[in-house]
């Protein structure tokens, strides 16, 4: 069953049924001013921080999930019938109310038809601005003149801090005000305190925001939520809308809102446009200036065109045509966009993530989030890399998260030793080489960046410090300690417990370091890394092979996880994959480990993280036991890890199995199975209920997860095999044997490369030479010297 379709030419997803099993959402704006919008115009807005800068209220996990949001009510002044421009909140019967929502990068555009009136409500935040637009177009599609009232409605917070606003009511119900003044709703929190704009973290200051409406005759307003709604009512039937007039209430303490009523008359066929602008600052200052500049239909259209052009330009970095349209939807639009959204918002805002506790850049997640977006936003990645490198302590470990507004490199308190995670800085070995390969900016390795607490080093020095950190913290088997956690938050092995996953990460790190040092002719550095690599290989060889697969970890008390002898968590996906990704596993081990993964972990909806699920293991070492079987880290299908299984299969040379795994967690491939998936078919998710769950196949926590970055990277650099290197673009696809080939257009180092891959012999991989603008080049590297402004390459697999 589906609830919509992809419109690839427009980079849009069209929700054709509004009653999606769960609210589906999209992102607006940027960290300067941003928000969430759902397919029924639910969601919320904030400035700078979703936890500390909320202006539109959202009650998490409430029923229905997405209200109040940004509502346009319409009321027929003659019949007294009323509805909303999105299906919710009034929810007219769907046999009489037809609607669709177009989600595109940075906007939602909802069209509806009801009772002879067509509406189009568009929501977006213009580039680099601190306000949002709601644009309502109303058309009379009937044959008689119509007299309508439009009510634009938003519920405000009273404190910008999310938790206080929602929970500390004995305080926050006495600090909000909102009033109508000179054509604006002027909203504030703690209005008698001075502003302290330079210090966003200071909660003891006044905060201001505003809302205005352009178009139609302003007929009234409400600023007190309960006056607008009426007692014991909700957003589905507000008293003021039912009555047909706002009460012109002022908001003073309790709950404030912004409702502006505009009356319009429409001749048959006529269209009127109403604009709402809602933004940060004082109405008489920022509000007035913004309305002067942006409060016209032409300005709104211009800003919307600019927003689309901005996003489409980013998505132009790569365009592919493969035999799998679902793959193309993700690669050309949604996978790329999801990775960019995740880069911007980390884990801070969605209908699930609130911002509380997760408001900054979690270290390991953020370093990984860059991997999939390097080609699209290299400058932002460079800046973010420097920020995260400056979040590394001089010890080589990392601050658990970096909050840009509080982070002062060189002056942070070092992380308490017990709080270090073992994997944080090791992700740099994936991301930094990818950045250098994309841009050719090898000088980056020599850039000096401060440590978080004291001292500084070159980027290469930071990388060495990261390796030294893990090499200095090994357990009794010579493997790296898991510390507070490795990638898996649930693994609590004890300080001296050892993580096999991190052992493979360190191995990859050492090999990568040796390669970088080699390229820079730093012979001693290279030798150091290779000698350490041999040592870690010996430790792995001594303890980590279980007979058919690699073990998971060894706890401080010597308990081995991920062994055939264990009753629970007998096999763990990550160590099988990373044994291969790190280059450790020999051919037989790789074959056996991957066969075990397929037999014991794989399913139609992805590969479970481990099996069997934990039930009796003490929570002190394996926190996964907290979760229901088949959920999240307890043998769920953890989406983040899926790409590692794909990459391992690619490295082992099985492009068919790799693609099967890729499709099994690819959201677009489940567009026709929404009764199972339930969440957005255009966004990755954190996890899916596995075969060990009672809800097998259901996906949860859409949008913000390490999945997006890894999946896009895997699709582009390894399935399509368009892989930047310092010296050129490697063309090394590993595709399903059933694909006759594919076409791609890739922007690389300011040039346009058109690649046609042909696969006449139904193979997976193996390009032996290239035809570059008609000239034959041996091997599969398109060298920089062969790049023209536009270069056309033909690559034949198996030739
Ligand atoms: O790796 C972590 C991530 O940092 C936060 N979410 C869960 C993942 C796996 O435990």
> pLDDT tens digits for 745-779?
999 999 999 999 999 999 999 999 999 999 999 99
Convert 84-101 to b/e letters by CB count within 10 Å (16 or more is b). Answer: bbbbbbbbbeeeebebbb
Q: Which of 23-32, 58-67, 311-320, 561-570 has the lowest mean pLDDT?
A: 58-67
Query: 10 Å Cβ neighbour count for 498?
Result: 29
**DSSP state, residue 613:** P
In this structure, is residue 667 part of a structural domain?
Answer: no
pLDDT digits (tens, 9 = 90+) for 633-675: 999 999 999 999 999 999 999 999 999 999 999 999 999 999 9
Q: Decide: 488 in ligand 1 pocket, CB within 6 A.
A: yes
Cβ neighbours of residue 752 closer than 8 Å, sequence gap 6 or more: 745, 746, 789, 790, 791
Query: Domain range spanning residue 769?
Result: 722-797
Q: Indicate the top mutation candidate among 489, 632, 707 to test ligand 1's pocket, ranked by most ligand atoms within 8 A of CB.
A: 489
Task: Using DSSP bridges, classify how beta strands 751-758 and 790-797 pair: parallel, antiparallel or unpaired.
Answer: parallel
8 Å CB contact between 601 and 574: no
pLDDT digits (tens, 9 = 90+) for 270-280: 999 999 999 99
8 Å CB contact between 120 and 110: yes
CATH number, domain with residue 167: 2.70.98.40
Q: Indicate the top mutation candidate among 367, 401, 488 to test ligand 1's pocket, ranked by most ligand atoms within 8 A of CB.
A: 488
Task: Specify whether 191 is located in the same domain as 89.
Answer: yes
Task: Specify whether 99 is located in the same domain as 197.
Answer: yes
Task: Specify whether 188 is located in the same domain as 247.
Answer: yes
- DSSP E strands in 703-740: the ranges are 722-725, 728-731
Q: Decide: 308 in ligand 1 pocket, CB within 6 A.
A: no
Q: How far apart are CA 772 and CA 463, in angstroms?
A: 37
The residue whose two tokens read 């690819």 is 666
Atom of ligand 1 nearest to the CA of 705: 6
In this structure, is residue 262 part of a structural domain?
Answer: yes
- 137 alpha-carbon distance from chain centroid: 31
Task: Specify whether 120 is located in the same domain as 17.
Answer: yes
Closest residue by CA, ligand 1 atom 9: 488
pLDDT-based confidence at residue 65 (cuts at 50, 70, 90): confident
Q: How far apart are CA 399 and CA 581, in angstroms?
A: 26
Q: How far apart are CA 139 and CA 695, in angstroms?
A: 44
Task: Specify whether 273 is located in the same domain as 137.
Answer: yes
Task: Specify whether 178 is located in the same domain as 68.
Answer: yes
CATH number, domain with residue 772: 2.60.420.10
pLDDT-based confidence at residue 676 (cuts at 50, 70, 90): very high
Q: How far apart are CA 235 and CA 252, in angstroms?
A: 20
Task: Report the pLDDT value the prediction gives residue 503, as an integer from 0 to 100.
Answer: 98
pLDDT digits (tens, 9 = 90+) for 226-246: 999 999 999 999 999 999 999
Residue 247's nearest CA partner among 233, 263, 229 is: 229
Q: Indicate the top mutation candidate among 487, 572, 632 to test ligand 1's pocket, ranked by most ligand atoms within 8 A of CB.
A: 487
Closest residue by CA, ligand 1 atom 6: 489
8 Å CB contact between 514 and 529: yes
pLDDT-based confidence at residue 542 (cuts at 50, 70, 90): very high
Task: Specify whether 196 is located in the same domain as 49.
Answer: yes
φ and ψ at 708, to 5 degrees? -60, -50
Task: Specify whether 150 is located in the same domain as 256.
Answer: yes
In this structure, is residue 331 part of a structural domain?
Answer: no
Q: Decide: 423 in ligand 1 pocket, CB within 6 A.
A: no
Ligand 1 centroid distance, CA of 488 (Å): 6
Q: Indicate the top mutation candidate among 421, 640, 686 to test ligand 1's pocket, ranked by most ligand atoms within 8 A of CB.
A: 640
- 272 alpha-carbon distance from chain centroid: 36
In this structure, is residue 101 part of a structural domain?
Answer: yes
Long-range contacts of residues 401-405, Cβ cutoff 8 Å, at least 24 apart: 401/360, 401/361, 401/362, 401/363, 402/360, 402/361, 402/363, 402/366, 403/359, 403/360, 403/361, 404/360, 404/361, 405/48, 405/49, 405/200, 405/201
8 Å CB contact between 567 and 627: no
Atom of ligand 1 nearest to the CA of 485: 10
| Sign of the dihedral through C-alpha 772, 777, 781, 786 | negative
**Phi-psi group of 80: left, alpha or beta (phi > 0 → left; psi -120 to 50 → alpha; rest → beta):** left
Closest residue by CA, ligand 1 atom 1: 487
8 Å CB contact between 375 and 313: no
Q: Give the residue from 472, 492, 525 where a domain finishes.
A: 472
Ligand 1 centroid distance, CA of 351 (Å): 18
Quickly list DSSP for 373-436: TTTT-HHHHHHHHHHHHTTB-TTS-B-SEE-TTT--TT-SPPPPGGG-BSSGGGGHHHHHHHHH
Task: Specify whether 161 is located in the same domain as 228.
Answer: yes
Task: Report the pLDDT value the prediction gives residue 778, as an integer from 0 to 100.
Answer: 97
pLDDT-based confidence at residue 66 (cuts at 50, 70, 90): confident
8 Å CB contact between 680 and 670: no
Q: How far apart are CA 742 and CA 795, in angstroms?
A: 10
The residue whose two tokens read 């999939």 is 372
Q: Decide: 487 in ligand 1 pocket, CB within 6 A.
A: yes
CA–CA–CA angle 30, 699, 620 (5° rounding): 95
Q: How far apart are CA 437 and CA 456, in angstroms?
A: 24
Q: How far apart are CA 421 and CA 485, in angstroms?
A: 5
* Average pLDDT of the residues in 80-89: 98
8 Å CB contact between 148 and 217: no
Atom of ligand 1 nearest to the CA of 364: 4
Chain mean pLDDT for the chain:
97
**Residue that wins the pLDDT comparison between 473 and 404:** 473
Q: Decide: 123 in ligand 1 pocket, CB within 6 A.
A: no
Using the predicted structure, report yes or no on whether residue 359 has a pLDDT greater than 90.
Answer: no
Task: Report the pLDDT value the prediction gives residue 724, as an integer from 0 to 100.
Answer: 98
Using the predicted structure, report yes or no on whether residue 467 has a pLDDT greater than 80.
Answer: yes
Q: Indicate the top mutation candidate among 348, 357, 363, 365 to test ligand 1's pocket, ranked by most ligand atoms within 8 A of CB.
A: 365
Q: How far apart are CA 257 and CA 59, in angstroms?
A: 15
Domain count, the chain: 3
Task: Report the pLDDT value the prediction gives residue 730, as an integer from 0 to 100.
Answer: 98
Residue 791's nearest CA partner among 725, 758, 747, 732 is: 747
Write the secondary structure of 641-701 as one string of H (helix), E (strand) and C (coil): HHHHHHHHHHHCCCHHHHHHHHHHHCHHHHCCCHHHHCCCCCCCEEEECCCCCCCCCCEEE
Q: Decide: 633 in ligand 1 pocket, CB within 6 A.
A: yes
Task: Report the pLDDT value the prediction gives residue 358, as an integer from 0 to 100.
Answer: 77
Ligand 1 centroid distance, CA of 773 (Å): 45
Q: How far apart are CA 505 and CA 501, in angstroms?
A: 6
Ligand 1 centroid distance, CA of 489 (Å): 5
pLDDT-based confidence at residue 798 (cuts at 50, 70, 90): very high
Q: How far apart are CA 730 and CA 348, in angstroms?
A: 36
Q: How would you class 48 by CB atoms within 10 Å of its CB: exposed for 0-12, middle for 13-18, buried for 19 or more?
A: buried
Task: Specify whether 195 is located in the same domain as 150.
Answer: yes
Ligand 1 centroid distance, CA of 404 (Å): 21
Task: Report the pLDDT value the prediction gives residue 377, as an integer from 0 to 100.
Answer: 98
In this structure, is residue 61 part of a structural domain?
Answer: yes
The SS3 call for residue 102 is: strand
Atom of ligand 1 nearest to the CA of 706: 3
Q: Give the residue from 472, 495, 525 where a domain finishes.
A: 472
In this structure, is residue 37 part of a structural domain?
Answer: yes
Q: Decide: 364 in ligand 1 pocket, CB within 6 A.
A: yes
Closest residue by CA, ligand 1 atom 4: 365
Q: How far apart are CA 414 and CA 391, in angstroms?
A: 10
Task: Report the pLDDT value the prediction gives residue 380, as an integer from 0 to 100.
Answer: 98
Atom of ligand 1 nearest to the CA of 490: 10
Rounded alpha-carbon distances, angstroms, from residue 571 to 125, 198, 463, 486: 47, 52, 31, 17
Atom of ligand 1 nearest to the CA of 488: 10
- 539 alpha-carbon distance from chain centroid: 37
Task: Specify whether 307 is located in the same domain as 377.
Answer: no
- 169 alpha-carbon distance from chain centroid: 32
User: Is 489 an active-site residue?
Assistant: yes
pLDDT digits (tens, 9 = 90+) for 718-737: 999 999 999 999 999 999 99
Ligand 1 centroid distance, CA of 62 (Å): 25
Copy the structure tokens of residue 399: 């601050």
Ligand 1 centroid distance, CA of 778 (Å): 43
Ligand 1 centroid distance, CA of 480 (Å): 19
Copy the structure tokens of residue 541: 């060889």
In this structure, is residue 131 part of a structural domain?
Answer: yes
Ligand 1 centroid distance, CA of 595 (Å): 26
Q: How would you class 715 by CB atoms within 10 Å of its CB: exposed for 0-12, middle for 13-18, buried for 19 or more?
A: buried
Q: How far apart are CA 559 and CA 100, in angstroms?
A: 55
Atom of ligand 1 nearest to the CA of 423: 1
Using the predicted structure, report yes or no on whether residue 405 has a pLDDT greater than 90.
Answer: no
Task: Specify whether 363 is located in the same domain as 458.
Answer: yes
Q: How far apart are CA 621 and CA 62, in angstroms?
A: 34
Ligand 1 centroid distance, CA of 569 (Å): 18
Q: Which of 7, 113, 263, 489 is catalytic?
A: 489
Q: How far apart are CA 562 and CA 552, in angstroms?
A: 5
Q: Give the residue from 472, 500, 520 where a domain finishes.
A: 472
Q: Using only C-alpha atoms, what is the Rg of the chain?
A: 28
Cβ neighbours of residue 433 closer than 8 Å, sequence gap 6 or more: 512, 515, 516
In this structure, is residue 143 part of a structural domain?
Answer: yes
Q: Decide: 365 in ligand 1 pocket, CB within 6 A.
A: yes
**Phi-psi group of 245: left, alpha or beta (phi > 0 → left; psi -120 to 50 → alpha; rest → beta):** beta
Query: 10 Å Cβ neighbour count for 167?
Result: 11
Residue 429's nearest CA partner among 652, 646, 582 is: 582
pLDDT-based confidence at residue 85 (cuts at 50, 70, 90): very high
The residue whose two tokens read 């409605």 is 153
Q: Decide: 634 in ligand 1 pocket, CB within 6 A.
A: no
């Amino acid at each position: 069953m589906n609830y919509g379709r992809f419109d690839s030419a427009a980079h849009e997803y069209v929700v054709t049924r509004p009653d999606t099993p769960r609210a589906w959402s999209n992102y607006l704006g940027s960290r300067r001013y941003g928000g969430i919008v759902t397919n029924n115009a639910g969601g919320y807005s904030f400035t700078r921080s979703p936890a500390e800068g909320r202006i539109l209220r959202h009650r998490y996990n409430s029923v229905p999930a997405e209200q109040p949001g940004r509502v346009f009510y319409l009321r027929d002044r003659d019949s007294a019938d009323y509805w909303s421009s999105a299906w919710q909140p009034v929810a007219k019967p769907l046999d009489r109310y037809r609607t669709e929502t177009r989600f595109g990068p940075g906007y939602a555009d909802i069209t509806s038809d009801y009772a002879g009136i067509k509406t189009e409500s568009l929501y977006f935040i213009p580039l680099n601005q601190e306000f949002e637009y709601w644009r309502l177009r109303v058309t009379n599609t009937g044959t008689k003149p119509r007299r309508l009232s439009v009510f634009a409605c938003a519920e405000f917070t009273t404190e910008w801090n999310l938790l206080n606003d929602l929970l500390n009511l004995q305080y926050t119900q006495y600090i909000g005000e909102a009033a109508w003044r000179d054509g604006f709703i002027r909203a504030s929190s703690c209005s008698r305190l001075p502003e302290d704009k330079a210090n966003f973290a200071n909660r003891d200051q006044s905060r201001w925001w505003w809302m205005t409406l352009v178009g139609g005759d302003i007929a009234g307003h409400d600023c007190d939520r309960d006056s607008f709604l009426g007692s014991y009512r909700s957003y589905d039937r507000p008293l003021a809308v039912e009555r047909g007039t706002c009460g012109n209430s002022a908001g003073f303490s309790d709950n404030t809102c912004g409702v502006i009523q505009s009356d319009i008359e429409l001749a048959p066929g006529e269209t009127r446009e109403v604009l709402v602008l809602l933004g940060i600052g004082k109405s008489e200052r920022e509000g007035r200036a913004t309305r002067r500049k942006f409060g016209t239909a032409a300005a709104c259209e211009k800003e919307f065109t600019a927003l689309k052009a901005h996003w489409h330009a980013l998505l132009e970095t790569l365009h592919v045509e493969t035999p799998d349209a679902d793959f193309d939807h993700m690669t050309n639009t949604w996978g790329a966009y999801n990775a960019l959204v995740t880069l911007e918002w980390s884990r801070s805002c969605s209908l699930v993530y609130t911002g509380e506790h997760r408001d900054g850049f979690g270290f390991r997640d953020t370093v990984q989030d860059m991997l999939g977006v390097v080609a699209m936003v290299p400058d932002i990645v460079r800046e973010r890399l420097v920020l995260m490198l400056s979040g590394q302590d001089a010890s080589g470990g990392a601050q658990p998260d970096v909050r840009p507004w509080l982070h002062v490199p060189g002056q942070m308190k070092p992380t308490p030793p017990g709080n270090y995670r073992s994997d944080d800085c090791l992700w740099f070995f994936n991301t930094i080489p990818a950045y250098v390969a994309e841009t050719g900016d090898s000088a980056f390795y020599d850039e000096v960046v401060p440590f978080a607490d004291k001292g500084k080093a070159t980027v290469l020095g930071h990388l060495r410090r990261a390796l030294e950190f893990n090499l200095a913290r090994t357990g009794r088997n010579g493997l790296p300690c898991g510390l507070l956690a490795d990638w898996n938050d649930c693994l609590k092995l004890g300080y001296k417990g050892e993580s096999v996953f991190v052992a493979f990460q360190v191995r990859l790190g050492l090999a990568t370091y040796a390669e970088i040092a080699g390229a820079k002719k730093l012979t001693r550095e290279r030798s150091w890394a290779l000698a350490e690599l041999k040592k870690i290989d010996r430790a792995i060889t001594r303890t980590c092979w279980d007979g058919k697969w690699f073990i998971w970890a060894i706890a401080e008390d010597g308990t081995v996880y991920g062994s055939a002898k264990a009753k629970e968590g007998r096999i763990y996906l990550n160590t099988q994959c990373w044994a291969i990704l790190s280059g450790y596993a020999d051919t037989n081990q790789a074959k056996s480990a991957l066969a075990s993964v397929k037999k014991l972990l794989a399913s139609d909806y992805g590969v479970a993280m481990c099996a069997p699920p934990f039930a009796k293991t003490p929570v002190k070492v394996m926190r996964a036991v907290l979760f229901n079987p088949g959920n999240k880290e307890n043998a769920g299908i953890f989406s983040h890890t899926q790409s590692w299984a794909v990459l391992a299969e690619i490295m082992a040379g099985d492009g068919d199995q790799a693609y099967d795994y890729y499709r099994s967690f690819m959201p677009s491939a489940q567009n026709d199975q929404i009764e199972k998936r339930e969440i957005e078919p255009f966004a990755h998710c954190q996890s899916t209920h596995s075969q060990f769950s009672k809800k097998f196949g259901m996906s949860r926590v859409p949008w913000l997860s390490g999945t997006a970055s890894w999946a896009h990277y895997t699709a582009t650099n390894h399935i399509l095999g368009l892989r930047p290197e310092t010296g050129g673009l490697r063309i090394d696809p590993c595709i399903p044997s059933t694909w006759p080939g594919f076409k791609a257009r890739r922007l690389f180092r300011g040039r346009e490369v058109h690649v046609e891959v042909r696969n006449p012999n139904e193979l997976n991989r193996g390009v032996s030479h290239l035809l570059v603008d008609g000239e034959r080049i041996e091997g599969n590297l398109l060298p920089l010297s062969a790049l023209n402004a536009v270069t056309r390459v033909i690559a034949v697999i198996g030739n």
